[in-house]
Amino acid sequence: MASDLFCTDLVRRFGDHTAVDRVSLDVPAGTFFSILGPSGCGKTTLLRLLAGFDRPDSGEIQIRGARMNDVPPNKRPVNMVFQHLALFPTMSVGDNIGYGLRRQKVPAAERTRKIARVLEQVGLPGLEDRNPQQLSGGQRQRVALARCLVLEPTLLLLDEPLGALDLKLREQMKVELKHLQKAFGTTFVYITHDQSEAMVMSDQVAVMRQGRFDQVAAPETLYRNPATPFVAGFVGDNNRLSGDVISVDGDLVRLRLQSGEEVAGRIAGEGIATGRRADLFIRPESLVMNGAVPDGYSRMQATVTTTLFDGANSRIEAGVADQTIFARLPQDGSVSNLSPDSAIQLGWDPQGATVFAGEPV
């Protein structure tokens, strides 16, 4: 598949601080690409480089094979949905959407037709004459999308547009954005600090930290095979157990925890050797409890601290030495009556746990 956006070694520095540090990316046409990272990781700077509001210090930006470095934002086939939407408050909804069409010198009759059509596509038929201030948060969101999509850009950039919505609406808009992206077939580049948004909507997710991409992969790969301890900890819930490596056997490694327990996991990173420190990541839903632990599983003893009931997402919080670990409660109710301070045995398939070399202390 041809790539809509292709960047090589992008660098952007502010004084001593390198906000974007040798980032390369390749987004195939018609896909939903997310850049996920904590605030301050440089993702907004990267997006502004793509939109043209800022110039990279080095590196190259190509959109459909054309070099974009020196093209101003109003000449790029790229549109952006801003974090606070930036709908023009002095214009009606129709004029907001028509603004870009007028710049393209689309005749008035066709403009009216296109505005009506795109409003219908985003589910707001007939709202041309409203003021943006009269709309609800979700409606404004759609107008901001329609304003960009009506121009049929090669690339649509979205800067955490769901951040301002309340939780329920956000869940709804997540699904809707994905559907809209499929319906329009436009390539979306979406930045967010919310891993759930990135996971639900994206075909590919780049996890960004300190100006660099830690890993670029499909959501499921990120979840199952994180490339770095940061990705393991940032994407989805994860438990982290620190210990010393006591033996390495093929792709499996055994660790001794501070509590003296010995546990096993799969080697996922470089630099693991006997005697070195390492971190084992195991997801709450990969843990099995008490009698259900099959043979061949790594197991350890823990003490229940408390039970956190949350429907399908109910968990227990347990302590192992001074580390806290969360385990998902089975849905069939097979484990119950876990009173605080009771002992519990936790087990997991070593292949389901990932081990990375410990960060130098």
Partner 1 sequence: MRSSASKLSLCLLMTPFVLWIVLLVLLPHLQMLRVSFHVRESWDTVTLGLEQYQNFFSESYYWRTFVRTGVMSLFTTFLTLVIAFPIAWYIAQLARGRAKGFLFLACLIPFWASELVRTYGWMILLRESGLFSTWLQALGLADGPVEMLYNDAAVIIGLVYNGLLFMVVPLVTTLDGMDENLVEAGYDLGGNHWTVLREIIVPWAMPGVVSGCIVVFMLTLGSYLTPILMGGKDSAWFTEQIFTQFITRFNWEQGAALGVLLLVLSSVIVWLGLRVTGQNLRKVMG
Q: Between the CA of residue 24 and those of 11, 102, 216, what are the distances in Å?
A: 10, 35, 10
* Residue nearer to partner 1 on the CB measure, 80 or 173: 80
Q: What is the number of residues in the chain? A: 361
Residue with tokens 């979406």, as numbered in its chain = 190
Of 17, 55, 88, 224, the residue at the interface with partner 1 (CB under 8 A) is 88
- CB of 172 closer than 8 Å to CB of 206: no
Cα gap 218→342, rounded to integer Å: 40
From the CB of 271, what's the least distance to partner 1, in Å? 44
Q: What residues from 51 to 70 belong to the interface with partner 1 (CB under 8 A)?
A: 51-53
Question: What is the per-residue burial (b if ≥16 Cβ within 10 Å, else e) of 53-89?
Answer: ebebeebebbbeeeebeeeeeeebebbbbebebebee
Q: What residues from 103 to 122 belong to the interface with partner 1 (CB under 8 A)?
A: 103-104
* Residue nearer to partner 1 on the CB measure, 151 or 288: 151
Which range in 30-38, 50-58, 163-171, 353-361 contacts partner 1 by CB under 8 A?
Answer: 50-58
Nearest to 267 by CA among 214, 325, 225: 225
Which range in 82-90, 132-140, 226-234, 235-243 contacts partner 1 by CB under 8 A?
Answer: 82-90
Cα gap 149→136, rounded to integer Å: 20
From the CB of 51, what's the least distance to partner 1, in Å? 6
Of 18, 62, 69, 83, the residue at the interface with partner 1 (CB under 8 A) is 83
Which range in 16-24, 83-91, 180-188, 247-255 contacts partner 1 by CB under 8 A?
Answer: 83-91
Of 26, 99, 266, 344, the residue at the interface with partner 1 (CB under 8 A) is 99
Q: How many residues bind partner 1 (CB under 8 A)?
A: 24
Q: Binding string, 140-179, against partner 1, x = CB under 8 A?
A: -------xx--x----------------------------
Q: Is 82 in the site for partner 1 (CB under 8 A)?
A: yes
Q: Which positions ≥6 away from 343 have C-beta within 8 Å?
A: 301, 302, 303, 304
- CB of 44 closer than 8 Å to CB of 30: no
Per-state percent for the chain, helix, strand, coil, to nearest 5:
30, 35, 35
Contact residues toward partner 1 (CB under 8 A) are: 51-53, 72-74, 78-80, 82-84, 86, 88-91, 99-100, 103-104, 147-148, 151
